[in-house]
Amino acid sequence: MGNLILSIILVNYNAMQITLDCIKSIYEKTINIAFEIILVDNGSDDNAQELVKKEFPNVKIIYNKQNKGFAQANNQAIIISSGKYVLLLNNDTIISATVELSRHF
């Protein structure tokens, strides 16, 4: 797909495994949509940033040295997002059904 349709933004704070599970489900269940994932790590000390880089190298990561809060973290990601639409997704979400491009886009 040519143009980026969707920017998916996740905020993490010391929730490595659920964040990894969320990202995995996005990649497994999102088809026929040009999308990006932007992860904002709010100063975690659980090694999440390194594990995400290793397992999902296409995820853009913003690393904050301290917890800036949910709203500010989302705003940081929105500023660098490239999609026509932005989805703020909680990192404890697991996508269970296939998400496919609709004619409405």
| Per-residue model confidence as pLDDT tens digits over 58-104 | 999 999 999 999 999 999 999 999 999 999 999 999 999 887 766 55
Instruction: Please state, in angstroms and rounded to a whole number, the distance separating the CA atoms of residues 16 and 39.
Output: 12
- 13-55 pLDDT per residue, tens: 999 999 999 999 999 999 889 999 999 999 999 887 888 999 9
Instruction: Please state, in angstroms and rounded to a whole number, the distance separating the CA atoms of residues 66 and 9.
Output: 18
- Structure tokens given for 102: 């609709």
Q: Order of strands, edge to edge, in the sheet holding 60-64?
A: 60-64, 35-42, 6-12, 85-88
List of domains in the chain: 6-92 (3.90.550.10)
Instruction: Please state, in angstroms and rounded to a whole number, the distance separating the CA atoms of residues 60 and 50.
Output: 12
Instruction: Please state, in angstroms and rounded to a whole number, the distance separating the CA atoms of residues 78 and 86.
Output: 7
The pTM for the full model equals: 0.91
